[in-house]
Amino acid sequence: MRQVIIVGSGPAAYTAAIYAARADLAPLVIASSVEFGGELMKTTEVENFPGFPEGIMGPELMTKMQEQAERFGAELVYDDVTKLELEGEIKRVHLGSGEVHEALAVIYATGSAYRKLGLADEERLSGYGVSWCATCDGAFFRQKKVAVVGGGDSALEEATFLTRFADTVYLVHRREELRASKAMQERAFADPKIEFLWNQEVAHIYGDEKVTGMGLVSTVDGTETTKDLDGLFVAIGADPRTHLVHGQLELAPEGTVAVRGRSSMTNLEGVFAAGDVVDPSYKQAITAAGSGCVAALDAERYLSELPAELLARAAGTAPQPQPASA
């Protein structure tokens, strides 16, 4: 049995791992089999993480966080959690391999998953022109026409990135103003390759073998138009990954895991949550890292108040008999 298991591998999970490892809690980190490193593995330059004045590549930042956690004794497992049993004093974490790990505390930091448009042809054409990762797939669209759907930072970042390759990048947004930061907006407005399609929703994706076009519907008057297209990038936000804790952890109205005040404490004793999975508003690498730190400190305090014999079992040592007093 472990003292603490951390589920996740983004900035929140790795920061929690660094703090927990430095507190001698020997955390086990379930980093997932293919999505380890989290969202930043799919980004390019990160320019707003303090301490890197020249910027740093997302995957490199995550590798450094991982190394920092391992340096202090965090152990990583590249597998996926299939089931969590979070009630009671001893928590159980089931993995894809069939292994079951036990711990006294769990830090849940699974982040969020890309939202889909919900169109019939989206799944069928996924990988054949429909994409959720401009940095992965952008280079295949040299001198082509692509569209990005969305109005937030990630949509504008993708659109700007895609102009390196594509001739035309449509930005499809259902309103006429963007949620994205000012800096991102200015960069995109100044880019001659980006064409904004305001007040439009994607209603159809066309193509047999691969994407050939999209059908748009005006959110103002319902007018339908079509555009020829080679690629469609979906960047309409993400939903917190709460499927493993449904029925166990209370959720906030926004769909994130509910935590008490500024802490990481959930409705269950010994279960802490951090990162994008608790955050409906900020969703930055640095805020996730900060909340991972909070979770590790909360877990450390919780563990320090548990009975000594439980802790001894978790540390893998039998309780030491007290020396007889003279």
- Note the residues at the interface with another protein (CB under 8 A): 32-37, 41-42, 58-59, 79-80, 96, 126-129, 131, 133, 135-137, 139-141, 209-210, 230-231
In the bound state with another protein, the residue whose beta carbon lies nearer, of 78 and 282, is 78
Token output for 238: 């993400």
Enumerate the β-bridge partners of residue 77. 30
59 backbone dihedrals φ, ψ, rounded to 5°: -60, -35
Say whether 133 is catalytic: yes
- Rounded to a whole number of angstroms, the minimum distance from the CB of residue 112 to another protein is 17
Nearer to another protein, 232 or 259 (CB): 232
β-pairing, 100-108 with 75-77? Answer: unpaired
- CA neighbor of 152 nearest in space, from 42, 50, 318, 282: 282
Smallest separation (angstroms) from another protein to the CB of 211: 8
Q: Give the Cα separation of 267 and 108 in Å (integer).
A: 13
At closest approach, how far in Å is the CB of 117 from another protein? 16
Q: Which of 170, 179, 180, 176 is nearest to 216 (CA)?
A: 170
How far apart are the C-alpha atoms of 256 and 276, rounded to whole Å? Answer: 8
Minimal distance, residue 140 CB to another protein, in Å: 4
Choose between 107 and 134: whose C-beta lies nearer to another protein. 134
Residue closer to another protein, measured from CB, 173 or 227: 227
**Cα separation, 300 vs 318, whole angstroms:** 21
CA-based radius of gyration for the chain: 23
Q: Catalytic pick from 24, 79, 121, 137?
A: 137
Phi/psi of residue 118, each to 5°?
A: 85, 25
Q: Judge whether 66 and 52 are in contact, CB under 8 Å.
A: no
58 — phi, psi (to 5°)?
Answer: -50, -55
293 is catalytic: no
Which listed residue (24, 79, 80, 133) is catalytic? 133
In the complex, what is the shortest distance from the CB of residue 259 to another protein, in angstroms, rounded to a whole number? 28
- Nearest approach in angstroms of CB 43 to another protein is 9
Q: Which is nearer to another protein, 210 or 301 (CB)?
A: 210
Catalytic residue among 24, 79, 121, 136: 136
DSSP annotation of 251 = B
Is 153 one of the annotated active-site residues of the chain?
no
Distance CA 88, CA 326 (A): 39
Between 49 and 140, name the residue whose CB sits nearer to another protein. 140
| Cβ neighbours of residue 140 closer than 8 Å, sequence gap 6 or more | 165, 231
Cα separation, 207 vs 195, whole angstroms:
22
Active-site residue numbers?
Answer: 133, 136-137
